Amino acid sequence: MITRVRMPRKLFASLVGGVTLALAGAAFGHHSGAAYDFNHMAIMEATVKQVNWTNPHITFVVEKDVKAGEPASTWVFEVSSPGVLTRSGWTKRSLQPGDHATFRYAPLRSGTAGGFLREVTLANGQKLTFSFTPSG
Amino acid sequence: MIAGCALWVLAVSAAVAKPPDLSGVWLPDVADQSRQETQNIPPWKPEVRSQIQRMIADEDAGHPFLVLNHCLPYGMPSWMLITHNAFELLVTPGRITMLGEVDGNRMRRIYMDGRPHPADPDLTLHGHSIGRWVGDTLVVDTTAVAPQAYIAISEATGIPNNGDMHIVERIHLTAPDVMADDLEITAPKVLTRTWKTTRLFRRYPSRHFEITEGECAQEDLVAGKDKFGNDVFIDNPQNADGSVRPVK
């Protein structure tokens, strides 16, 4: 059995800004969505900062729109895998850095700046979502 | 005349005996997986049941147990039981091969050439599988599964089989593009008796689906340059925020 050990990340401490560091000893892999609160879906407008079109999950790093009285914040939205999104009509270019969009997501129950993405509405009104099967 | 009739009979017999074509890209029925999670619970041993109950409580509390940690393949039988992703089934002489996506080396080889299981097998996450056709049903017998391979009923609920597991599958079409995998899982270390369950898969021939390359470790990496300017993968700074993933 092979357990991958992750290299130290001090190189990237300066890159992540205000994002909380939580170093891990091994790759997490595919996992349950139970950390997300699907009973309290939320919506935010944000600008895409980084697209990680990767297995087992895709992640989008976004900068939340600054509202009056709120500090700027970086969020990480997790979504299904490249296979599932490709079969749902997405491409790796559907959402790109710099795109401003509306994100509908299940927030992390912990209250930290992350969520599980369910739908994106692009500036031109196009909606991006996904399902495991064409009929579902 | 007699020879002609004999040929005709042979041709008809061959046509009748031809097994159904299972090749193609198959997508799991995830909604049915969820129903099975509560409607057909494995006969866990009492000491295992208490572990499972704790996992269910942890998941309800938002701290799911990471059944699929370490980016290892799901292995058997979890691949068939809980995957949310497609697999491609290839039929070639003497072998049926299943290729998956999402994590690395998700692959099953089902030998159809009549060979027996090896006497002293190397244990693997997918085990050693031999298959044969019984009418329209593909019967697959799997042994030599590593004891660390989970019997999982969800991505947050499962237990390692702990050794000596034996799986018999009866795979058949219930409609032209609907495949049922009837599994009989015998795992004496964790189950009180053989657990029977079924998983459904569908193919969509008009969609021209393909499975994608699946490398679980990619999520921890991002494209970058080394000191010579070569294109390499480097640690993904976004993933320094472990909060996006549930941390046990």
| Residue A67 maps to a domain | yes
**Alpha-carbon distance A23 to nearest alpha carbon in chain B (angstroms):** 6
What are B90's two structure tokens? Answer: 């290839």
* Cross-chain residue pair A27–B209, CB shorter than 8 Å: no
Give the type of residue at A96. Answer: Q
CATH code for the domain in which residue A122 is found: 2.40.50.140
pLDDT single digits (tens) A26-39: 455 667 788 899 99
Task: Tell me the C-alpha distance between B243 and A86, whole Å.
Answer: 26
Contact A36, A106 (CB under 8 A): yes
Task: Tell me the C-alpha distance between B242 and B97, whole Å.
Answer: 36
Please give the mean pLDDT across all residues of chain B: 89
Q: Which residues of B touch A133 (CB under 8 A)?
A: 27, 29-30, 202, 204
> For B209, which residue in chain A has the nearest alpha carbon?
A87
> For B31, which residue in chain A has the nearest alpha carbon?
A136
Number of domains in chain A: 1
Cα end-to-end span (Å), chain B: 76
Of B31, B62, B67, the CB nearest to A35: B62
Containing structural domain, residue A87: 42-129
| Residue A88 maps to a domain | yes
Q: Which residues of B touch A109 (CB under 8 A)?
A: 62
How much is the average pLDDT of B23-28? 96
Contact A117, A130 (CB under 8 A): no
Task: Tell me the C-alpha distance between B28 and B204, whole Å.
Answer: 12
> For A61, which residue in chain B has the nearest alpha carbon?
B238
| Residue A69 maps to a domain | yes
How much is the average pLDDT of B207-232? 88
ipTM given for this complex: 0.76
Task: Tell me the C-alpha distance between A74 and A19, whole Å.
Answer: 7
**Alpha-carbon distance A123 to nearest alpha carbon in chain B (angstroms):** 25
Task: Tell me the C-alpha distance between B109 and B125, whole Å.
Answer: 12
What are A3's two structure tokens? Answer: 């357990």
> For B125, which residue in chain A has the nearest alpha carbon?
A1
pLDDT single digits (tens) B181-212: 999 999 999 999 999 999 999 999 998 888 98
* Cross-chain residue pair A23–B154, CB shorter than 8 Å: no
Task: Tell me the C-alpha distance between B95 and A47, whole Å.
Answer: 49
Q: What is the pTM of this model?
A: 0.81
Of the listed ranges B19-23, B158-162, B219-223, B240-244, the one predicted with least confidence: B240-244
Of B62, B202, B222, the CB nearest to A34: B62
pLDDT band at A11 (very low <50, low <70, confident <90, very high): very low
Q: What is the helix (H) or strand (E) element at residue A127, kind and residue range?
A: strand A127-128
| Residue A22 maps to a domain | no
CA A5, chain centre distance (Å): 24
pLDDT for res B186: 98
Nearest to B98 by CA among B68, B142, B64: B142
| Residue A85 maps to a domain | yes
Instruction: Indicate the DSSP class of residue B32.
Output: H
Q: Which residues of A touch B238 (CB under 8 A)?
A: 16, 50, 52, 59, 61, 76
Contact B203, B176 (CB under 8 A): no
Task: Tell me the C-alpha distance between B97 and B54, whole Å.
Answer: 36
pLDDT single digits (tens) A54-110: 888 899 999 999 988 888 899 999 999 999 999 999 999 999 999 999 999 999 998
Q: Which of A80, A81, A110 to mutate against chain B (most B CBs within 10 Å)?
A: A81
pLDDT for res B47: 96
* Cross-chain residue pair A55–B66, CB shorter than 8 Å: no
β-pairing verdict for B128-134 and B107-111: parallel
Strand partners, B208: none
Nearest to B171 by CA among B210, B206, B129: B129
| Residue A95 maps to a domain | yes
| Residue A27 maps to a domain | no
* Torsion sign over Cα B148, B151, B154, B156: negative
Q: Which residues of B touch A22 (CB under 8 A)?
A: 240-243, 247
* Cross-chain residue pair B219–A27, CB shorter than 8 Å: yes
Q: Which residues of A touch B235 (CB under 8 A)?
A: 6-7, 9, 11-12
